[in-house]
């Protein structure tokens, strides 16, 4: 994981696309040029605000809003606003970064091993409970597990889903088990 974090940091310093995106965000939110943009944190804040009906920077909702005094982004960030297109670019970059850290694709060099280490215990528990139900040893009809989007991402990757977008806010994964005749 440290190697992936280091590679992401290096790519952010050399990738012209990432540098241009960072400059666009800095401009839209009126951040100083030396302010490092944390795309995953920004994505998380914007998604949460949008979901909970909180005011967003202008242009996202189509009209100007004033910044709440307790905003993490600060009053000046609301003046210019972010476009929907810029917000989608932040989403894609946040997804790319988080996926590289917590949900490598099985096709990557060490992807299968990393997924097995990160999700193995959870999948072992799920499969164990399915086996117990199939054997009649467990009659419990429902098991629920709670996690964050950073848990859903590696689960989806382990199941072979290619992640191109961040999971929707309050996403869930349902696993149904039926015993046939």
Domain boundaries, the chain: 2-101, 103-181
Q: Residue 74 region, left (φ>0) first, then alpha (ψ -120 to 50), else beta?
A: left
- Please state whether the predicted TM-score (pTM) of the whole model is above 0.75: no
Name the percent of the chain in helix, strand, coil, to the closest 5.
Answer: 55, 0, 45
Q: What is the percentage of the chain residues whose pLDDT exceeds 90? A: 3
Contact yes or no for 151/173 (Cβ under 8 A):
no
Average pLDDT on 143-155 reads: 82
Q: Can you give the pLDDT at residue 7? A: 66
Which of 66, 70, 86, 69 lies closest to 78 in space, CA to CA?
A: 66
List Cβ neighbours of 4 (8 Å cut-off, separation of 6 or more). Answer: 100, 101, 104
> Taking the C-alpha atoms of 112, 117, 118 and 121 in order, what is their torsion angle to the nearest 10 degrees?
120
Q: Which residue has the tokens 């929907």?
A: 84
Q: What is the pLDDT of residue 51?
A: 81
Per-residue model confidence as pLDDT tens digits over 101-142: 776 665 567 777 777 777 888 888 988 988 898 888 887 878
Residue 82 to residue 42: CA distance in whole angstroms: 12
Residues 20-66 have pLDDT tens digits of 999 888 888 878 888 888 998 888 888 888 788 877 665 443 333 34
Average pLDDT, the chain: 75
């Amino acid at each position: 994981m440290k190697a992936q974090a280091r590679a992401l940091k290096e790519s952010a310093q050399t990738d012209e696309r990432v540098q241009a995106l960072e400059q666009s965000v800095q401009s839209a939110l009126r951040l100083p040029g030396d302010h490092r943009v944390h795309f995953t944190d920004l994505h998380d804040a914007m998604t949460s605000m949008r979901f909970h009906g909180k005011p967003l920077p202008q242009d996202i909702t189509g009209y100007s809003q004033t910044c709440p005094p307790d905003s993490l982004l600060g009053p000046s960030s609301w003046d210019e606003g972010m476009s929907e297109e810029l917000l989608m670019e932040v989403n894609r970059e946040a997804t790319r970064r988080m996926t590289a850290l917590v949900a490598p694709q099985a096709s990557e060099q060490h992807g299968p091993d990393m997924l097995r280490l990160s999700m193995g215990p959870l999948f072992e528990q799920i499969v164990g409970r399915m086996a117990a139900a199939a054997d009649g040893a467990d009659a419990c009809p429902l098991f629920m597990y709670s996690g964050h989007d950073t848990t859903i991402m590696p689960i989806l990757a382990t199941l072979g889903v290619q992640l191109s977008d961040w999971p929707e806010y309050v996403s869930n994964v349902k696993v149904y088990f039926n015993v046939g005749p």
